[in-house]
Chains A and B, each alone.
Chain A
Amino acid sequence: DTEVTQTPKHLVMGMTNKKSLKCEQHMGHRAMYWYKQKAKKPPELMFVYSYEKLSINESVPSRFSPECPNSSLLNLHLHALQPEDSALYLCASSSGHYNEQFFGPGTRLTVL
């Protein structure tokens, strides 16, 4: 299985809502990543987990809260988001940091 899955595919939420994005991989990868991608822009790194521990936080606002419950799962908890947070949120995993990252299809998030 060489696939990274993400749910939901689309999410619409209000600024007072709490929601979560989920990512799963069964490739045995120990590094997992969250990226944010705005329209017509490249992906921008948000968080890196290595062996289930947060190793990089790219100064992301606290309204985004990542969680890695086990080596196969990665969550991104969302609370009190702003309309400018609307974007495609991509999850990726890799077997090592000097190896290719496999990306999921993303969750298209709209904040009203």
Chain B
Amino acid sequence: GESVGLHLPTLSVQEGDNSIINCAYSNSASDYFIWYKQESGKGPQFIIDIRSNMDKRQGQRVTVLLNKTVKHLSLQIAATQPGDSAVYFCADLDPQGAQKLVFGQGTRLTINP
């Protein structure tokens, strides 16, 4: 079965607000995690990644937090914009077969004007 899952299938926030998308994983040996954004009609676009030796990583308006104790991953998007509306997937690299990226079910984020 899948090693990653998401708490909510949809999330709506007001433009300008911060959003948090959550992800849980089951394999305590997972050691590399990626967040992807997929807009309608496009392929997934890399947002940010984090390795298991880190708890937090920041990018431009995005922060990923990793809590290995409870096997939880989150993506925080600051000051959301209409262009942030998309489906967000977390994915982890199967540590047993490092070439295999396993995606969670995805959360659809809608930014309301």
Q: Which among A44, A55, A98, A104 is the interface contact of B43 at CB below 8 angstroms?
A: A104
Closest CB-CB distance, B2 to chain A, in whole Å?
Answer: 8
Inter-chain contact A106/B101, CB cutoff 8 Å: no
Instruction: State which of B36, B44, B93 has its C-beta within 8 Å of the C-beta of A98.
Output: B93
Nearest A residue (CB) for B91: A42
Tell whether, in the assembled complex, residue B104 and residue A31 are in contact, meaning their CB atoms are under 8 Å apart.
Answer: no
A48–B99 touching, CB < 8 Å? yes
A31 touches B99 (CB 8 A): yes
Complex Cα distance, B38 from A105, in Å, reads 10
CA A106 – CA B42 in complex, angstroms? Answer: 7
> Given A42-B105, A100-B34, A90–B93 Cβ distance below 8 Å?
no
Interface code A14-46, partner B: CB below 8 Å = 1, 0 otherwise?
000000000000000001010000000111110
Query: In the assembly, what is the distance between CA of A56 and CA of B44, in Å?
Result: 21
Provide the residues of chain B in CB contact with A31, threshold 8 Å: 99
CB distance from B82 to the nearest CB of A (A): 21
A48 lies within 8 A of B100 (CB): yes
Q: How far is the CB of B90 from chain A (nearest CB, A)?
A: 10
B25 an interface residue at 8 Å Cβ cutoff? no
A42 and B43 form a contact (CB under 8 A): no
| Complex contact A42–B104 (CB within 8 A) | yes
Instruction: Give chain A nearest CB distance to B108 CB in angstroms.
Output: 9
Residue of B nearest to A45 (CB): B100
Residues B7-28 near A (CB distance < 8 A)? none
In the complex, how many angstroms separate the beta carbon of A71 from the nearest chain B beta carbon? Answer: 16
Contacts of B36 in A (CB 8 A): 103
Determine the distance from Cα of A41 to Cα of B9 in the docked complex, in whole angstroms.
11
Q: How far is the CA of A103 from the CA of B89 in the complex (A)?
A: 13
What string of 1s and 0s marks CB contacts (under 8 Å) between A74-112 and chain B?
000000000000000010100001101111111000000
A56 B42 Cβ-Cβ under 8 A: no
- Other-chain contact of A56, B32, B41, B99 (Cβ < 8 Å): B99
Residue of B nearest to A105 (CB): B43
Nearest chain B CB to A52's CB is how many angstroms away?
Answer: 14
Complex contact B46–A100 (CB within 8 A): yes
